[in-house]
A = this chain, B = another copy of it.
Amino acid sequence: MNELKIITLKESVFENNDLDAQALRQELTSHGTFLINLMASPGAGKTTLLSALIPLLQKELSVAVMEADIDSSVDAETIAKLGVRTIQLHTGGMCHLDADMCRQGLYELGYEGFDLVILENVGNLVCPAEFDTGAHMNMTILSVPEGHDKPLKYPLMYQSCSLLAVNKIDVLPYFDFDMGKLTEYAKMRNPDISIMPVSAKTGEGVEALAKYILNVISSAAK
């Protein structure tokens, strides 16, 4: 196994992140690389869901992963075991990634030649949603134990994502979680959001989620 590459991101020098993100997105598109920005609370199951999802996506696409964390490399080590190219990004205490920080990661990764790069953003339901990373798709995960009221409290996360995976549905019997209310609250923030229930642990719903993502990517390529 190759040694895991860890890079510490520098703060951006660009004043206008939206413009910078747009430029990065166009650059990626011109190389045929689709970028997904995955955001969620700490412990929602980002890494575990990616571990279940990536083998299915790899049947159709070449995939690479960027793991952003404040500290540690435990997630990147987990993902690297799947045999996909993985890079660990350390934010040096920062709570989010903007487009330039994302670009630093993509260049270190060597993104060209990959059909799909997934950025696992810092575990945080607030700050990452404020910054366009240059991704083609923003995705979030809400895990059942977190409760169905999260779209009420963290509006921007749900507004900025087109896909919401509801993870840990295997423990639904043990929590007071109302899927109907979650759907209502999430659609209140973003009427077009797609909601997909999954369990990264048991695998339930993961195939449908992979299919959904592959469809979005192939539609974007047309």
Using CB atoms and an 8 Å cutoff, list the residues of chain A in contact with chain B.
41-43, 69-72, 74-75, 93, 95, 122-127, 130, 143-147, 149-150, 152-156, 168, 170-171, 174-175
CB-based contact B127/A127 at 8 Å: yes
Q: Which residue of B lies closest to A145 (CB)?
A: B145
What's the Cα separation between A146 and B175 when bound, in Å?
A: 14
- The answer on a CB contact under 8 Å between A74 and B124 is no
Q: Are A171 and B145 in contact (CB under 8 A)?
A: yes
Question: Does A145 contact B124, Cβ atoms closer than 8 Å?
Answer: no
Check if B95 sits within 8 Å of A126, measured CB to CB. yes
Q: Which residues of B contact A170 (CB under 8 A)?
A: 174
- Chain B residues with CB below 8 A from A122, complex form: 126
Contacts of A145 in B (CB 8 A): 43, 143-146, 168, 171
A146 touching B71 in the complex, CB below 8 Å, given contacts A93-B156, A124-B125, A126-B127: no
**Docked complex Cα distance between A43 and B177 (Å):** 12
| CB-CB under 8 A for A155 and B70, given A126-B122, A146-B43 | yes
> Whole-angstrom distance between the alpha carbons of A2 and B170 in the complex?
41
27 contacts between A and B (CB under 8 A): A41-B42, A41-B125, A41-B146, A42-B146, A42-B150, A43-B146, A70-B126, A70-B154, A71-B152, A71-B153, A71-B154, A71-B155, A72-B153, A93-B156, A95-B95, A95-B126, A95-B127, A123-B125, A123-B126, A123-B153, A124-B125, A124-B126, A127-B127, A143-B145, A145-B145, A145-B146, A171-B174
Q: Give the docked Cα–Cα distance between A7 and B75 (Å).
A: 39
Closest to A173 in B: B174
Cα of A69 to Cα of B124 in the assembled complex, Å: 14
Query: Would you call B42 and A152 a contact (CB within 8 A)?
Result: no
Instruction: For the complex, give the distance between the alpha carbons of A206 and B171 in Å.
Output: 23
CA of A41 to CA of B141 in the docked complex: distance in angstroms? 14
Do residues A42 and B171 form an inter-chain contact, with CB atoms below 8 A?
Answer: no
Question: Do A152 and B95 touch (CB < 8 A)?
Answer: no
Is A152 touching B93 in the complex (CB atoms < 8 A)?
A: no
